[in-house]
């Protein structure tokens, strides 16, 4: 009897395995899609804000049809989708991969421009103006990386659709980076590090000659050299300030503003 029950149990187990084998696997709806359809569906998802699904479709497209224009376009769209998702590392990795694989692609200028945008909109960079964080604690690396990317567009692709906007963003970045250096110089001055303050202000003047922040940089130099007892350097800086900014609020008010520079109201 016991042997009979064991045989029945074995048969039942075998039948259960067979039944499991009969169950269909999860169906991939895209399995029979052509490259044009897969790209069209991915693009629709991208345009409607379905970035995760769009990336999934684009990756399948690139995997199934690795050669040709659809795969290249998918690589660009993957980078853009990550950018719209706010996924900076993934976006930059996708951009760098495309540039490395297709350095002479007709639309490589767009990828450099997109690299600039990704860094330009970095939420932890010096452009998060609404934050109350002290700007001296921020890393301007993203701003510099953005500037370099936009510069590539302007210098290498002067006729690019993105050249004009890249140039405008470069000018903004120069002003922002100059103001950042001046704020750091002011920070040093307020803490009595007068040599560091003067050097940082001088650096801003040398690197960003036409930036509005140069006015404040000169004033920081005047105050710093005065505090150090370096009369000749103080007078030289003051003469430059008076000549270039005769109505400077920094010179006439006699002190550096206490309100953080990144707050405009």
The full set of domain ranges for the chain reads: 36-88
Q: What does the pLDDT read at residue 249? A: 81
Q: What is the pLDDT of residue 129?
A: 43
pLDDT at residue number 138: 58
pLDDT of residue 252: 55
Give start and end residues of each alpha helix (H) in 85-191.
88-101, 108-120, 141-156, 163-190
Using DSSP, state whether 260 is helix, strand or coil.
Answer: coil
Specify the pLDDT at position 68: 83
Mean pLDDT by 10 residues, the chain (265 residues): 56 52 62 89 94 94 90 96 95 97 95 96 52 55 92 97 96 91 94 96 92 92 95 94 86 48 35
Closest CA to 203 of 191, 188, 190, 192: 188
pLDDT reported for residue 247: 84
């Amino acid at each position: 009897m016991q042997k009979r029950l064991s045989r029945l149990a074995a048969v039942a187990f075998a039948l259960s395995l067979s039944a499991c084998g009969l169950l269909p696997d999860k169906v991939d709806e895209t399995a029979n899609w052509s490259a044009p359809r897969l790209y069209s569906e991915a693009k629709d998802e991208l345009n409607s804000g379905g970035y995760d699904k769009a990336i999934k479709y684009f990756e399948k497209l690139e995997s199934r049809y690795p050669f040709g224009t659809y795969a290249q376009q998918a690589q660009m769209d993957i980078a853009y989708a990550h950018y719209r998702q706010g996924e900076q590392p993934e976006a930059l990795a996708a951009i760098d991969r495309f540039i490395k694989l297709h350095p002479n692609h007709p639309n490589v200028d767009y990828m450099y421009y997109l690299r600039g945008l990704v860094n330009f909109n970095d939420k932890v960079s010096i452009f998060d103006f609404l934050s109350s964080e002290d700007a001296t604690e921020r890393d301007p690396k993203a701003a510099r990386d953005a500037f370099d990317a936009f510069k590539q567009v302007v210098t290498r692709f002067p006729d690019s659709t993105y050249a004009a906007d890249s140039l405008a963003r470069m000018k903004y970045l120069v002003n922002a980076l100059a103001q950042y250096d001046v704020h750091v110089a002011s920070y040093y001055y307020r803490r009595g590090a007068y040599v560091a303050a003067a050097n940082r202000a001088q650096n801003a003047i040398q690197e960003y000659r036409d930036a509005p922040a140069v006015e404040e940089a000169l004033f920081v130099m005047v105050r710093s050299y005065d505090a150090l007892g370096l009369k000749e350097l103080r007078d030289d800086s003051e003469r430059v300030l008076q000549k270039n900014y005769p109505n400077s609020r920094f010179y006439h008010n006699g002190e550096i503003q206490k309100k953080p520079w990144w707050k405009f109201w």
